[in-house]
Structure 1
Amino acid sequence: MEIAPLNNEVAESDEVGAAYWIKTEDKVRLRVGVWCDERAVNGTILLFTGRAEFIEKYGRIVPGFLEQGFAIFSIDWRGQGLSDRVASDAHLGHVHHFLDYQKDVVAMIEAARSLSLPKPWYLFGHSMGGNIGLRSLIDGVPVVASAFTAPMWSIAVPSFLEPVAKPLSRLAVMVGLGEMYTKAQKGHSYALHRSFESNSITNDRPMYEYFIRQATLFPEAHIGAPSMRWLYEGLTECDRLSNLRSPEVPCSAFAGKDDVTVGRKAIEDRMSSWRDGAFTIVGDAKHDLLYDRPNISQKVIQDVCAFFRQYS
């Protein structure tokens, strides 16, 4: 695999990682990143990032996982980070079909094998990564356990738009407006578009300032609001997944009590019937639990690692 750039200044991590370029079966070039050393005695966590995220965004949480004995292997999904864009507007959050992300997963697993990453492997997904991750678990991705924070098993939309979000986004796709932005944010990074006081990601101001620094120092890795096609595809995939049984893979899921980005009921419903499943609602927390206040983020990391160690 060809070496790819990894911006340690943006990651603000004391750990030394590496990044590589990989190719999917449909010839999309993706970037993957790995942090692994002799401490990874418990195996490797496959980190499925959220929408608009990129590998360096997780730099600050890597030490916590390494200290607990886990390597981290992450990815820039198609259309974001430094991976190939799939829309004419490079700043648009876009995908042609949600199942295209599974092609990225296949390439990611092949890369993990090529790198001989320590086993067993675990899957950790945040937000959109939780949606992609659930589909991957159902399809048989080779992991022994899984964990999710704020998994996107439904998309939270304002109540007055709920009945029309899917038909309107479908109509937009049908009439050739699939690459239209869904929000006034357009191509701007969320952290540069919204103030800390109005953000829906974190209650921790220093962490939000970290996001702002990343957006300023590394604009080429950022994307803005999702497209109408992304919205339609995302809503459709959530509906498809809701009709499928949970896989026979142990799972621990977390959601912030004040999360307004994903639908909590869908998480509660699935986890209530997931065999070997556990669900935790985290009080006084927003969408990104790994980047909320230190007492919250550290506790979630500790709980995830303790859960995974049961299967190491």
Structure 2
Amino acid sequence: MPEDIIPDATEKIARTAIDRRAIPAHANESVWTAADGHALRRIDWPGAQGSPRGSILFLPGRGDFYEKYLETLEEWHRAGWRVTAADWRGQAGSGRLGDDAVTGHVGDFSDWVDDLAHLWRDWTAQTPGPHILAAHSMGGHIVMRALVDGAVLPDAVVLSAPMLGMSGPPLPLPLLHGVAKVMTKVGEPTRPAWKWSEKPGEIPARRRDLLTHDGERYADELWWREKRPELVMGPGSWGWVERAYASTRAIEASGAMEGIDVPVLIVSTANDKLVSHAAAKRAAERLPRGELVEFGSEAHHEIFREVPAVRNRALDAVSEFLDRVAPAAS
């Protein structure tokens, strides 16, 4: 099958070329205000005229920015969806919460859940259904936490390489959390938890090998970092690590995921070196309406930014899932 064709459950949609280094003319960048007054960046696609397919809200991962996903967001828009993406507070174009402009920090993951709940209420009131939550990596963690907490109730959820567990030593979660707690006490919790490079702001060697096999799509990220320097972020803080483990324990608690009565598609790869594929598989099994699309050595962490053969398979699976569990409103 040609790589420029996406088979959809109802029709075949031509995947024409998209400029990944330009904000589409019909997309609108703006700022929205969280409940506490913090300004956060967002981007909106108006959706198809006439009968829209529905609406998708997309949230990126740690250190991410929505420019990296313009290609996917534009494709969803062309398929008839009303699309919105937003940065998390403390990263990309939504300010910083730590002591410098490079280290990623947060007081607690519940702050991000509260922001999502606030945006969700406003966004769903202004957009046509069905309403879909989609997220990548840390964004997937926050969406899952929001589902566990009952902060959002989407019609369906799509998670790409969700950070439901972090890649690292195979030690018990309480032990890893305990070590992180100690590290927040022996120094400032806002200090970097890992080394990024010898020069602050410089991309570490072999970073691409963790993210994607597609050199051109990886280069797009570097281009946006140079074009918009405010997007650059490096390591997470020890405070971020400790709060990530604490939030993971809340998600992993007995009965937490079992109580989520929402269709959830998890797209994950066994080749992931940043988040735990095993945790993603467990989540798909525990969720009452969970489904898993699994990749192997052909995919790194950023599955929606992979080579066409991988990316197309992932997006085809998303399209089929949404057509089945969240059909267009009649």
TM-score normalized by the length of structure 2: 0.84
Q: Is the 8 A contact 1:44 1:117 kept in 2?
A: yes
| Worse-superposed segment, 262-271 or 223-232 | 262-271
Cα distance change of structure 1 residues 163 and 118 upon mapping to structure 2, 3 Å threshold: closer
Q: Is the 8 A contact 2:117 2:151 kept in 1?
A: no
SS for the counterpart of 1:91 is coil
Whole-Å separation in 2 of the counterparts to 1:248 and 1:240: 17
Q: Please state if 1:304 is matched with 2:318.
A: yes
1:3 match: none
Cα distance change of structure 1 residues 165 and 273 upon mapping to structure 2, 3 Å threshold: closer
Whole-Å separation in 2 of the counterparts to 1:15 and 1:260: 36
Q: Please state if 1:119 is matched with 2:129.
A: yes
| Worse-superposed segment, 125-134 or 181-190 | 181-190
1:221 match: 231
1:90 to 101, 116, 128: 101
Q: Structure 1 counterpart of 2:257, which letter?
A: R
Whole-Å separation in 2 of the counterparts to 1:255 and 1:209: 23
1:255 match: 268
Deviation by residue 1:240-299 (Cα, 9 ceiling, x = unmatched): 101113300011111112101111111111211322221121131110100011111122
Q: Is the 8 A contact 1:65 1:305 kept in 2?
A: no
Segments of 5+ residues of structure 1 without an aligned counterpart are 1-7
Instruction: For residue 195 of structure 1, report the CA deviation from its aligned partner.
Output: 3.5
Mapping of residues 267-306 of structure 1, within 5 Å = 267-283=280-296, 284-306=298-320
Mapping of residues 147-158 of structure 1, within 5 Å = 147-158=158-169
Whole-Å separation in 2 of the counterparts to 1:275 and 1:189: 42
Q: Structure 1 counterpart of 2:67, which letter?
A: E
Whole-Å separation in 1 of the counterparts to 2:22 and 2:305: 14
Q: Is the 8 A contact 1:250 1:277 kept in 2?
A: yes
Whole-Å separation in 1 of the counterparts to 2:146 and 2:84: 16
Q: Is the 8 A contact 2:26 2:45 kept in 1?
A: yes
Deviation by residue 1:184-204 (Cα, 9 ceiling, x = unmatched): 1168557x22346x6301111
Q: Please state if 1:199 is matched with 2:212.
A: no
1:66 match: 77
Q: Please state if 1:19 is matched with 2:29.
A: yes
Q: Structure 1 counterpart of 2:32, which letter?
A: I
Cα distance change of structure 1 residues 188 and 204 upon mapping to structure 2, 3 Å threshold: farther
2:92 match: 81
Mapping of residues 18-57 of structure 1, within 5 Å = 18-38=28-48, 41-57=52-68
Cα distance change of structure 1 residues 161 and 267 upon mapping to structure 2, 3 Å threshold: closer
| Worse-superposed segment, 123-132 or 30-39 | 30-39
Cα distance change of structure 1 residues 294 and 188 upon mapping to structure 2, 3 Å threshold: farther
Q: Structure 1 counterpart of 2:60, which letter?
A: T
Instruction: For residue 179 of structure 1, report the CA deviation from its aligned partner.
Output: 0.9
Cα distance change of structure 1 residues 94 and 11 upon mapping to structure 2, 3 Å threshold: farther
Whole-Å separation in 2 of the counterparts to 1:189 and 1:64: 31
Q: Is the 8 A contact 2:47 2:80 kept in 1?
A: no
Instruction: For residue 79 of structure 1, report the CA deviation from its aligned partner.
Output: 0.6
Whole-Å separation in 2 of the counterparts to 1:275 and 1:136: 16
Instruction: For residue 174 of structure 1, report the CA deviation from its aligned partner.
Output: 2.5
Instruction: For residue 101 of structure 1, report the CA deviation from its aligned partner.
Output: 0.3
Q: Is the 8 A contact 2:145 2:247 kept in 1?
A: no
Instruction: For residue 69 of structure 1, report the CA deviation from its aligned partner.
Output: 2.2
Deviation by residue 1:86-136 (Cα, 9 ceiling, x = unmatched): 11212111101011101210231244146x222110111110011101122
* Residue identity (%): 23
Q: Structure 2 counterpart of 1:127, which letter?
A: S
CA RMSD of superposed structures (Å): 2.4
Whole-Å separation in 1 of the counterparts to 2:234 and 2:144: 24
SS for the counterpart of 1:27 is coil
Cα distance change of structure 1 residues 257 and 245 upon mapping to structure 2, 3 Å threshold: closer
Q: Structure 2 counterpart of 1:280, which letter?
A: V
1:237 to 227, 236, 247: 247
Whole-Å separation in 2 of the counterparts to 1:282 and 1:70: 26
Instruction: For residue 9 of structure 1, report the CA deviation from its aligned partner.
Output: 8.4
Cα distance change of structure 1 residues 148 and 42 upon mapping to structure 2, 3 Å threshold: same
| Worse-superposed segment, 246-255 or 175-184 | 175-184
Q: Structure 2 counterpart of 1:245, which letter?
A: M
Whole-Å separation in 1 of the counterparts to 2:67 and 2:101: 19
Whole-Å separation in 2 of the counterparts to 1:188 and 1:82: 18
Segments of 5+ residues of structure 2 without an aligned counterpart are 1-17
Cα distance change of structure 1 residues 298 and 306 upon mapping to structure 2, 3 Å threshold: same
Q: Is the 8 A contact 1:185 1:193 kept in 2?
A: yes
